């Protein structure tokens, strides 16, 4: 499938404010692959869980306002975040399929001289990379990662609700594994691959959150994984920053590197680790980079 001529980049709040090095890797990888993006004055998506649960109508209105910005230029949105992708996809779907609700939202948007029309699509960045295809990705690889065993983690909001998002098999997602495999890395099978990372429950109770994380980490390590590859900033933060807590909770010691998919691709494309801020990860990558001959 041909990719769009240009997308409006939606990096979301978490990446821009807390882990900007993820954006750096995405921009460099997109440039290599010819995925063109441009900026837009987007606001918070907003959050598909907490905000949506408190006030669904306001959630729809704020999401619709973001969509109208891309509609003005007739460009689809590319999202770097699972949560943002879910929100914008679901808002777009709800308003396209409910004329009454669409009219009510447009009454609100009229106050800021905007109107939702439903003329653009929203894509998760993994969708776009998968559409680019393994063969095109392989053309840019200068560092073959063959032999590197990784645990793939798509996260809860990437493909659910599946009846609306329809981006992958929600129970056995394949696209992340296929893009990872294009680098030569080996996606391992591990028992807890579809387990939540635990980030959500951590907002209310830390202990179960850390136990869920510990279960996931141990399952992947037991399966031989040398690193995790993720596509969600919330999952990245949970996996990268809380390994010590998860270890204390479960009487284990964890120190497994966590890579965003764009970081894995950047390394395989020969991009210097210092250019994409890998030193800012909590779970240190130095041993892995040395093993791969990248340090």
Give the architecture (CATH level 2) of 142-291: 3-Layer(aba) Sandwich (3.40)
Q: What does the alpha-carbon distance between residue 144 and residue 185 come to, in Å, rounded to a whole number? A: 8
Q: What does the alpha-carbon distance between residue 98 and residue 118 come to, in Å, rounded to a whole number? A: 11
Global confidence as pTM:
0.96
- Best CA proximity match to 267, nearest among 4, 3, 21, 11: 21
Judge whether 88 and 79 are in contact, CB under 8 Å: yes
Domain boundaries, the chain: 7-125, 142-291
What string of pLDDT tens digits covers the 295 residues of the chain? 455 689 999 999 999 999 999 999 999 999 999 999 999 999 999 999 999 999 999 999 999 999 999 999 999 999 999 999 999 999 999 999 999 999 999 999 999 999 999 999 999 999 999 999 999 999 999 999 999 999 999 999 999 999 999 999 999 999 999 999 999 999 999 999 999 999 999 988 999 999 999 999 999 999 999 999 999 999 999 999 999 999 999 999 999 999 999 999 999 999 999 999 999 999 999 999 999 999 8
Domain 7-125 has CATH 1.20.1050.140: yes
- What is the structure's pLDDT at 195? 96
Buried residues in 64-77 as b, exposed as e (16+ CB within 10 A): bbbbbbbbeeebbb
- What is the structure's pLDDT at 21? 97
- What is the structure's pLDDT at 130? 98
């Amino acid at each position: 499938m041909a990719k769009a001529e240009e997308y409006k980049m939606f990096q979301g709040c978490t990446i821009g404010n807390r882990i900007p090095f993820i954006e750096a890797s995405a921009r460099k990888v997109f440039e290599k692959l010819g995925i063109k993006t441009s900026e837009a004055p987007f606001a918070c998506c907003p959050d598909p869980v907490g905000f949506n649960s408190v006030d669904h109508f306001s959630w729809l209105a704020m999401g619709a306002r973001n969509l109208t910005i891309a509609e003005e230029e007739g460009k689809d949105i590319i999202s770097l975040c699972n949560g943002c992708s879910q929100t914008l996809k679901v808002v777009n779907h709800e308003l396209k399929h409910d004329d009454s609700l669409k009219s009510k939202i447009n009454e609100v948007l009229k106050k800021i001289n905007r109107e939702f029309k439903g003329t653009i699509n929203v894509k998760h960045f993994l969708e776009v990379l998968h559409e680019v295809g393994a063969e095109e990705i392989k053309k840019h690889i200068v560092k073959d990662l063959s032999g590197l065993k990784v645990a793939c983690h798509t996260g809860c909001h990437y493909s659910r609700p599946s009846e609306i998002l329809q981006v992958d098999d929600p129970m056995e997602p394949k696209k992340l594994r296929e893009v990872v495999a294009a680098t030569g890395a080996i996606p391992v099978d591990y028992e807890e691959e579809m387990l939540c990372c635990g980030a959500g429950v951590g907002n209310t109770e830390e202990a179960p959150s850390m136990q869920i994380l510990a279960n996931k980490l141990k399952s992947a390590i037991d399966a031989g994984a040398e690193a995790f590859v993720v596509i969600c900033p919330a999952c990245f933060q949970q996996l990268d920053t809380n390994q010590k807590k998860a270890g204390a909770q479960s009487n284990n010691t964890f120190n497994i590197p966590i890579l965003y998919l764009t970081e894995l691709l950047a390394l395989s494309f020969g991009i210097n680790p210092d250019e994409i801020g890998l030193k800012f990860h909590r779970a240190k990558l130095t041993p892995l980079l040395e093993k791969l001959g990248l340090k």
